[in-house]
């Protein structure tokens, strides 16, 4: 195992944390979008309060993944900038509006009408961002991305990434975020002891959870048809993670049903984690299949070792700080104290 493999593991960990933590934040906005007409003020407050202290830190995982890719696998970073030109631009638009709308809603202090406008923008942007980011991931996974060359037509830049799998993963990641958010918010509602909210979110978790189960099977079929190379990876290496994902998914549904909320959160996160690692492991060693492998894209080993030292050192500061943040705002005891 060389330094590039270690770095890939770090990147996959960061990506997982972004998908789980950032995904839940996006999911909260997706729920706001899909329930816009019937949600009460109290239900909305619940959503905004839950993501308040943590969303910005959760967002940084994405920047982190990008920076590791740029430094450790510069050729892949450059290729993605070219091939995923449109979906990444659209993701950026989503990120700008999501972040901006959240902060202007919370701190803007505007009149009610303006508040509603920001909430609407927040909801739409929270749905659009995972759609395009998920589609970008699906475009990579499809194994059909061509790196545009000097002679490529503009249409190849704009539309070349679109494939059935990309479209599917776009919507799949919306569902994934919504599911995570529903389970996370069930727990938050339970922690503050609000029965009404707990019932709503429990029911939402169960229904999205079932849908996600169906979609996940559909996804496997999709991969088998659309991305034969990836499917081969799943058969030879990735299959244990499919089983883990399945077990975690079912487990999370049972735990939500029983209102064992912390366990449900862990299981739901586990299901998502297994999906991402399953993809990563099955696709290895390609980083942008079919043309770019990690060996072609990586920086020289010396640089990679240096990065790993930096990451390890940074982690010594980062992880305790992150733990402190979550303990303060997501820990059960403190929340109870404040709620009382």
Partner 1 sequence: MTGLLADLTTANQLLPARLQMAFTLGFHIILACYGVGLPVLMLVAEWRFLQTGDRLWQKLAQRWSRSFAVLFAVGAVSGTVLSFELGLLWPEFMGRWGAVIGLPFTMEGFAFFLEAIFAGIYLYGWDRLPKRVHWLTGWPIAISGFLSAFFVVTANAWMNAPAGFRIVDGKIVDINPLAAMFNVASGAQVTHMIVAAYMVTGFSVAAFYAFCLLRDPQNEYCRRAFTLGLLLGLVFVPVQMVVGDWSAKVVAKSQPVKLAAMEGQFQTERHAPLRIGGIPDPVTRETRYAIEIPGALSFLSYADFNAEVKGLNDFPDNEKPPVIVVHMAFQVMVGIGSMMGLLAAGCLVNYVRFRSWPKSKWFLRTVVLMGPLSIVAMEAGWIVTEVGRQPWIVHGYMRTADAVTRAPGVWSVFAGTMSIYLLLGIATITSLSRLAKVPLQEDLHGT
Q: Of these, 57, 115, 224, 242, which contacts partner 1 (CB under 8 A)? A: 57
Q: Which stretch binds partner 1 (CB under 8 A): 32-40, 130-138, 195-203, 311-319?
A: 311-319
Residue 28 engages partner 1 in binding (rule: CB under 8 A): no
Question: Which residue carries 């938050």 as its tokens?
Answer: 188
**Between 58 and 269, whose beta carbon lies closer to partner 1?**
58
DSSP single-letter state for residue 146: P
Stretch 61-80 residues interacting with partner 1 (CB under 8 A): 62-64, 66-68, 70-72, 74-75, 77-80
Residue 99 engages partner 1 in binding (rule: CB under 8 A): yes
Pairwise CA distance, residues 74 & 77, whole Å: 5
Q: Of these, 45, 56, 164, 217, which contacts partner 1 (CB under 8 A)? A: 56
Distance of CA 167 to the CA centre of its chain: 16
Q: Which stretch binds partner 1 (CB under 8 A): 36-44, 59-67, 165-173, 183-191?
A: 59-67
Q: How many Cα atoms are found within 13 Å in the side-chain-facing hemisphere of 219?
A: 28
**Between 90 and 174, whose beta carbon lies closer to partner 1?**
90
- Closest listed residue to residue 22, CA positions, set 65, 56, 68: 56
- Using DSSP's 3-state secondary structure scheme, residue 147 falls into coil
CB of 136 to partner 1, least distance (A): 11
3-class SS letters over 227-285: CHHHHHHHHHHHHHHHHHHHHHHHHHHHHHHHCCHHHHHHHHHHHHHHHHHHHHHHHCC
CB of 23 to partner 1, least distance (A): 16
Pairwise CA distance, residues 205 & 262, whole Å: 14
Q: Which stretch binds partner 1 (CB under 8 A): 20-28, 39-47, 137-145, 149-157?
A: 149-157
Which x/- pattern, by CB under 8 A, does the window 314-333 give for partner 1? x--xx--xx-xx--xx----
CB of 279 to partner 1, least distance (A): 21
Q: How many helices (H) and strands (E) are present in the chain, helices listed first? A: 16, 2
- The answer to whether 88 touches 140, Cβ cutoff 8 Å, is no
Give the β-pairing of 286-288 and 292-293. antiparallel
- Residues forming contacts to partner 1 in the complex (CB under 8 A) are 52-54, 56-57, 59-60, 62-64, 66-68, 70-72, 74-75, 77-82, 85, 88-89, 91-93, 95-97, 99-100, 102-104, 107-110, 148, 150, 152-155, 157-158, 299-300, 302-303, 306-307, 310-311, 314, 317-318, 321-322, 324-325, 328-329, 334, 338
């Amino acid at each position: 195992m060389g330094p590039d493999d270690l770095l890939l593991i770090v990147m996959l960990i960061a990506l997982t944390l972004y998908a789980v933590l950032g995904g839940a934040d996006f999911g909260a906005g997706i729920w706001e979008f899909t329930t816009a007409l019937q949600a009460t003020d109290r239900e909305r407050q619940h959503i905004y309060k839950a993501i308040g202290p943590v969303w910005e830190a959760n967002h940084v995982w994405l920047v982190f993944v990008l920076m590791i890719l740029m430094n450790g696998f510069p050729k892949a970073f450059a290729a993605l900038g070219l091939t995923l030109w449109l979906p990444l631009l659209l993701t950026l638009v989503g990120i700008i509006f999501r972040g901006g709308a959240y902060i202007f809603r919370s701190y803007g202090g505007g009149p009610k009408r303006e508040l509603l406008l920001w909430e609407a923008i927040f909801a739409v942007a929270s749905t659009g961002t995972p759609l395009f980011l998920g589609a970008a991931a699906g475009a990579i996974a499809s194994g059909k991305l061509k790196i545009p060359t000097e002679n490529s037509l503009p249409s190849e830049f704009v539309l070349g990434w679109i494939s059935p799998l990309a479209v599917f993963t776009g919507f799949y990641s919306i569902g994934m975020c919504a599911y995570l958010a529903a389970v996370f918010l069930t727990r938050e509602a339970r922690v503050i002891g609000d029965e009404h909210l707990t019932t709503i979110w429990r029911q939402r978790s169960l229904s999205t959870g079932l849908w996600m189960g169906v979609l996940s099977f559909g996804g496997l079929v999709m991969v088998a048809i659309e991305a034969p190379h990836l499917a081969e990876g799943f058969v030879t290496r990735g299959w244990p993670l499919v089983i883990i994902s399945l077990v975690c998914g079912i487990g999370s549904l049972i735990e939500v049903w029983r209102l064992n909320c912390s366990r449900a959160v862990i299981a739901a996160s586990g299901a998502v984690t297994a999906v991402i690692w399953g993809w990563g492991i099955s696709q290895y060693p390609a980083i942008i299949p079919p043309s770019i492998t990690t060996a072609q894209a990586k920086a020289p080993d010396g640089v990679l070792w240096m990065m790993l030292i930096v990451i390890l050192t940074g982690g010594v500061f980062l992880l305790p700080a992150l733990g402190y943040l979550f303990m303060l705002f997501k820990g059960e005891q403190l929340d109870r104290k404040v709620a009382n």
